[in-house]
Amino acid sequence: MKFCLIASVFAALAFAPAGDYATAKRKIDLIESDRLRPGARVTLTPRELNDYVAHEVPPGVRNTKLEIVSPGVAVGSAMVDFGQVRSAQGHPPGWLISKLLNGERPVRVTARIASSNGQATVQVQRVEVSGLEIDGRTLDFLIQNFLIPMYPNAAVDRPFELGHRIERLDLDPAALGVVIGH
């Protein structure tokens, strides 16, 4: 009886799917190949999105979770060591700033994402760091002085090209749909 149970567990592990990261990576590579026909739709499940994000984040970020909470609204959370993120990008913070940035902090961001005609706009609705909500002028300051210098191509509150002939992104709690245009 024990042998059958152990054999069943090993068989299940041996024939388990390759992983949601590998599946998501193949789908993203297919989109980026620019070989999909107009009107094609690629669907990424929540598990695929989360596995992909977990594998692709920079050093200093862990325990990521991405959730589409309602159509067009996503919430991302993670443990972030801002000092380690900056250092990994080749920009270690000075002594004073390192005292403010070093150490892991829980971060949660809620954003509305709208897209059409090959463009998208991300509107940050809420940011929490260590349980403190950051909004208004403070949030604008952090975006301009930390996010944009760290990620110069980041586009917040302004349209940006989706690229790879992507027509639009359909965000839904069940999945993310990527629709290919002409």
Which has the minimum average pLDDT: 21-25, 100-104, 162-166? 100-104
Report whether pLDDT(20) > 90.
Answer: yes
* Average pLDDT of span 66-74: 97
Tens-digit pLDDT profile for residues 132-170:
999 888 888 888 877 787 778 888 889 999 999 999 999
The reported pTM is 0.81
The Cα–Cα gap between 43 and 125 comes to 25
Query: Residue 84 phi/psi, 5° resolution?
Result: -65, -40
Q: What pLDDT score does 111 carry?
A: 95
| Max CA distance (Å), the chain | 65
The Cα–Cα gap between 158 and 121 comes to 6
